[in-house]
Structure 1
Amino acid sequence: MPEKKERIVRFTANDLQKMRHQGEAGSDWKRAARQGVPDGSDPDDAFDAVPPDWVMTEMPLPRTKTHASIRIDADVLEWFKAQGRGYQTRINAVLRQYYEHHREP
């Protein structure tokens, strides 16, 4: 039986298997389409209404770096690594662009 806490719903593996067999499992695309695009007023929104174009992000000039250990989703890390050498520099460039976009003037 599903447990609901606010908007989070949890199902057991057996519940999900039954839902798949009945064709009920999957994304609720109609509900998602009804929700508006984030306007940036919520600090938890990652982007303003129009996200920056990461493809056009420039590589930063060399700066003093510090060592950090961060946890990144496996698929995101593999995507950066698949682009070849310099993937850490590219990750830093994306983070720098995000920082520049959101920092206080």
Structure 2
Amino acid sequence: MINPEFSLDMPPKERQEKFMQMSDEDIDYSDIPPLDDEFFKNAKLVKPNPQTEQISIRLDSEILEWFRNHAQEKSYHDLINDVLRTYVKHQSQ
């Protein structure tokens, strides 16, 4: 169903007000392709980039080599950060 009262051409404040008043039934999903298993097989998690700080750290050579070898689609720096973030998150629980 197309909602004639809502348009992306509206001023932002008016658009937000109209958007907040919309129900799920008012949303037109007809142009969205189905999300099948193939889509999720190739999906990648996109996380916001938090503020980072450049540091110098000494690591054992074999530890650094492991991260370099296991970083596939991201830098080994990001992989180290992700591992540390997961560790800190679990320590806080």
Higher relative contact order (CA 8 A, sep 6+): 2
Tell me which protein shows more helix as a share of its residues.
2
Tell me which protein shows more strand as a share of its residues.
1
Question: Is this a same-fold pair by TM over 0.5?
Answer: no
Name the larger-Rg structure.
2
